[in-house]
């Protein structure tokens, strides 16, 4: 397992220049002010640079054409602004677009653009791989690579937004941390990345959702932030024993304590909680589980997403039958809980969590990375 890298550094290079997207907007402004002052440049240059970065999604200083060439070169010497290489872009017949990014050290990370009605949601990754080892998840089976840095998270947003612009598509309206990795196990990078997306790129906090498998300290940290970021809990079972079979982390952060932490999150005011429930045939879709799920969701005012299991290479499990999914939906509805059945998106391009990377690893390395240990300390 790779050593944890600094949230601001790159996992691979010794480049001393700070990446501008790894700085909080206030910090970035300050650093640019110092830089421009040291070069005897007028202060409006700072606004020009931030405008290029957050508004025009610039990926190189060369693009900043209203700055003198000497200033662009000086910026290049002082800071980084680049982005990972695009390894693959896959387009699904249903409009879903999946990017696989290749980090400078070769790690592969994916993000997915999902159009639905008047929304265009970007699903981004917080880690290369994941150490949580959930039994139904392709990323879990692929094992842990390393933490992503702040800029590696934020550039997924910037590159996706640019790709949409270049392809004449509508802009991103929502961001969910539901790609590879457990965002609340990489809080050092995810917290600043949330700030950069919100304050820098101007994406409303209520349009950003962090999905967690249940890292309680992370839920508490998110609850005390003043912004109203949404939280999705990957529940997958309303009973502890079954949940522990699907999610090793359940043993460390058991369901009753998790629900207590969610109550605190809800009481922090005005925040959305969603339950994710991946429905696996004859595993977690017994009819008697539905009222228990409904009760937990009702108590927290949570919205429930019922997601038919997307089969993965190392598992012979199947998605629940439609009548079972409908039974869950109806039970939730009758209990006054809002719920939606999420049709699998982008199946033809392996857009389920971790699948494109899993396939690419097989192609590149001949086999997936060895599975991570099941005990995770966060
Ligand atoms: N680690 C975080 C976020 C990434 S996983 C979390 O677990 O919440 C994003 C979502 O995809 C989770 O709800 C996860 O349970 C779901 N998921 C993973 N593998 C899946 C599969 N094979 N089929 C359907 N959903 C899956
Ligand atoms: Fe990690 Fe989430 Fe997959 Fe579990 S479901 S292994 S926490 S990415």
Residue with tokens 């270049």: 166
How far does residue 188's CA lie from ligand 1's centre (Å)? 21
Stretches where the chain sits below pLDDT 50 are 1-5, 10, 12, 353, 362-378
Distances from the Cα of 138 to the Cα of 105, 109, 141, 144, 147, angstroms: 22, 13, 5, 12, 17
Q: What is the structure's pLDDT at 360?
A: 53
302 lines ligand 1 (CB under 6 A): no
20 lines ligand 1 (CB under 6 A): no
Q: Each residue of 150-178: b (16+ CB within 10 Å) or e?
A: bbbbbbbbbbbbbbbeeeeeeebbbbbbb
Residues 127 and 22: their CA atoms lie apart, in Å, by: 15
**All residues at 6 or more sequence positions from 306 whose CB lies less than 8 Å from its CB, including other chains:** 277, 279, 325, 328, 329, 339, 340, 341, 342
Residues 133 and 374: their CA atoms lie apart, in Å, by: 6
Residues 177 and 116: their CA atoms lie apart, in Å, by: 17
Q: Is 213 exposed, middle or buried (0-12, 13-18, 19+ CB in 10 A)?
A: buried
**To test the ligand 2 pocket, which listed residue (182, 210, 235, 305) has its Cβ within 8 A of the most ligand atoms?**
182
How far does residue 140's CA lie from ligand 2's centre (Å)? 5
Choose the catalytic residue: 110, 182, 250, 276. Answer: 110
Distances from the Cα of 371 to the Cα of 145, 183, 294, 357, 375, angstroms: 10, 19, 34, 14, 12
- Pair type for strands 208-212 and 174-177: parallel
Q: Round the CA-based radius of gyration of the chain to a whole number and report it.
A: 21
- Looking at ligand 1, which residue's alpha carbon is closest to its atom 24? 309
358 lines ligand 1 (CB under 6 A): no
134 lines ligand 2 (CB under 6 A): yes
Neighbours of 314 (CB within 10 A): 14
Determine the atom of ligand 2 nearest the C-alpha atom of 133: 6
260 belongs to the catalytic site:
no
Determine the atom of ligand 2 nearest the C-alpha atom of 127: 8
Reading the block at residue 268, the tokens are 């922090």
How far does residue 178's CA lie from ligand 1's centre (Å)? 7
- The DSSP H or E segment spanning 292 is helix 289-300
Closest to 179 in 3D by CA, of 113, 237, 235: 113
352 lines ligand 1 (CB under 6 A): yes
Q: What is the structure's pLDDT at 206?
A: 95
Strand order in the sheet with 119-123: 85-91, 97-102, 108-116, 119-123, 174-177, 208-212, 230-234, 273-279, 303-308, 339-341
334 belongs to the catalytic site:
no
Q: What is the structure's pLDDT at 355?
A: 56
Name all domains of the chain by residue range, CATH numbers in brackets. 20-78 (1.10.150.530), 85-363 (3.20.20.70)
Q: What is the structure's pLDDT at 366?
A: 45
How far does residue 7's CA lie from ligand 1's centre (Å)? 24
132 lines ligand 2 (CB under 6 A): yes
């Amino acid at each position: 397992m790779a050593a944890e890298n600094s949230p601001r550094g790159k996992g691979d290079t010794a480049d001393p220049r700070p990446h501008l997207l790894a700085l909080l907007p206030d910090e970035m402004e300050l650093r640019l002010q110092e830089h421009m002052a040291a070069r005897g440049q007028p202060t409006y240059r700072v606004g020009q640079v931030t405008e290029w970065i957050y508004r025009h999604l610039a990926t190189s200083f060369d693009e900043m054409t209203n700055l003198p060439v000497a200033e662009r070169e000086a910026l290049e010497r002082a800071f980084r602004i680049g982005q990972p290489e695009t390894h693959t872009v896959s387009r699904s017949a249903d409009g879903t677009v999946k990017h696989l990014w290749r980090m400078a050290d070769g790690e592969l990370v994916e993000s997915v653009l999902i159009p639905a009605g008047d929304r265009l949601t970007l699903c981004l990754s917080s880690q290369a791989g994941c150490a949580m080892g959930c039994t139904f998840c392709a990323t879990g089976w692929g094992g842990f690579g390393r933490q992503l840095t702040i800029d590696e998270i934020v550039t997924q947003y910037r590159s996706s937004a640019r790709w949409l612009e270049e392809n004449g598509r509508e802009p991103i309206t929502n961001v969910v941390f539901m790609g590879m990795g457990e965002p609340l196990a990489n809080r050092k990078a995810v917290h600043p990345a949330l700030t950069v997306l919100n304050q820098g790129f101007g994406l409303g906090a209520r349009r950003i959702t962090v999905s967690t498998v249940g890292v309680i300290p992370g839920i508490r940290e998110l609850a005390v932030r003043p912004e109203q970021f949404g939280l999705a809990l990957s529940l997958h079972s309303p009973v502890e024993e079954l949940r522990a079979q699907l999610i090793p982390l359940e043993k460390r952060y058991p369901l009753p304590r998790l629900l207590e932490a969610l109550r605190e999150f809800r009481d922090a005011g005005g925040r959305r909680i969603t339950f994710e429930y991946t429905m696996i045939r004859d595993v977690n879709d017994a009819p008697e589980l539905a009222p228990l799920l409904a009760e937990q969701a009702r108590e927290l005012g949570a919205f429930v997403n019922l997601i038919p299991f997307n089969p993965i290479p190392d598992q012979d499990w199947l998605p629940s039958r439609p009548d079972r999914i409908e039974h869950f939906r109806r039970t939730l509805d009758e209990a006054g809980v809002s719920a939606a059945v999420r049709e699998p998106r982008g199946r033809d391009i392996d857009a389920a969590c971790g699948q494109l990377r899993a396939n690419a690893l097989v192609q590149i390395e001949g086999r997936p990375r060895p599975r991570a240990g099941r005990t995770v300390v966060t």
